[in-house]
Amino acid sequence: MSLSRFFLPAAEWRADVLTLTGDEAAHCARVLRKSAGEEIEVFDGAGRVAVTRITQVRKAEVGTQIVREWRHDALPVAIHLIPALIKAEPFEWLLEKAVELGAASVQPVVTERTVVHLAGEHLEKKMTRWRRHMIESAKQCHTPWLPRLEAPRPFAQVVSGLPDTALKIMPALSERRRTLREAGDASKTTYVAVGPEGDFTPEEEALALRHGFVPVTLGPLILRAETAAITVLAYLGQQGVVRD
């Protein structure tokens, strides 16, 4: 039987003692009712995993001792996902699948046709919810990797700041012939920009092309924004494109 899994950021790891706090401690102690002497699995989202034995359970923290620890080999190439903000439920589904499929990071962007606009306290609450959702996805699918989630930024600002040496892909309704297979060198770090409901505007597509993005078709059918993002991640993952 697999052990219950808990997330602890890399900065909080110590040589032989790991302490869960916040939501992870609450889930361990109050929801799963773990007690001293039981073993659990802890991961840092960057490839490190440890089996630990619980030494003490308090109201706000759970102390554990490392029993054994290992690191998963770093994945060879990164896929950085740049999805336009879409409605809440589809976007959370997108984040969940991005975790499962090994995205290195998720950088939401605001476009001309974006209907979801977040700021201030509302944005902070959403970011917290999204990160929690991604952690739960990583725990459930037993991946050692957790994509970095960035705060939403304007589309033009993001695409203009990417490295010239990377492969940049943009699924586009305007493209009819070029497929993912023909997009370029799949061994490079890859950025994937996916538009909102209604796709990118012609001006945004032109801007992306000026900054090195390659438009591709995902087939004859029109896909929802979240489906398009996951289709590209799944395909590139099968080609061995996964992480720096």
Give per-residue pLDDT as tens, 170-196.
999 888 899 999 998 878 899 999 999
Q: Give residue-wise pLDDT tens across range 79-101.
A: 999 999 999 999 999 999 999 99
Q: Do 103 and 199 share a domain, yes or no?
A: yes
- Asked if 104 and 78 count as a contact pair (C-beta separation under 8 A), the reply is yes
> Both tokens of residue 199?
């796709």
Angle at 147 between CA 144 and CA 152, to 5 degrees: 165
Q: Do 199 and 85 share a domain, yes or no?
A: yes
Q: Which domain holds residue 172?
A: 79-238
* Per-residue model confidence (pLDDT) at position 41: 97
Do the domain assignments include residue 137?
yes
* Average pLDDT for 126-151: 96
Angle at 93 between CA 194 and CA 132, to 5 degrees: 110
- Asked if 136 and 111 count as a contact pair (C-beta separation under 8 A), the reply is no
Do the domain assignments include residue 244?
no
Q: Do 17 and 125 share a domain, yes or no?
A: no
- Residue 207 sits in a domain of what CATH number? 3.40.1280.10
Q: Do 43 and 96 share a domain, yes or no?
A: no
Q: Among 71, 87, 110, give the residue marking a domain's end.
A: 71
Burial of 157 by CB count in 10 Å (0-12 exposed, 13-18 middle, 19+ buried)? Answer: exposed
pTM of the model: 0.91
Q: Do 88 and 198 share a domain, yes or no?
A: yes
Q: Among 17, 47, 71, give the residue marking a domain's end.
A: 71
* Sequence-separated (6 or more) residues with CB below 8 Å from residue 45: 7, 9, 10, 135, 138, 144, 145, 146
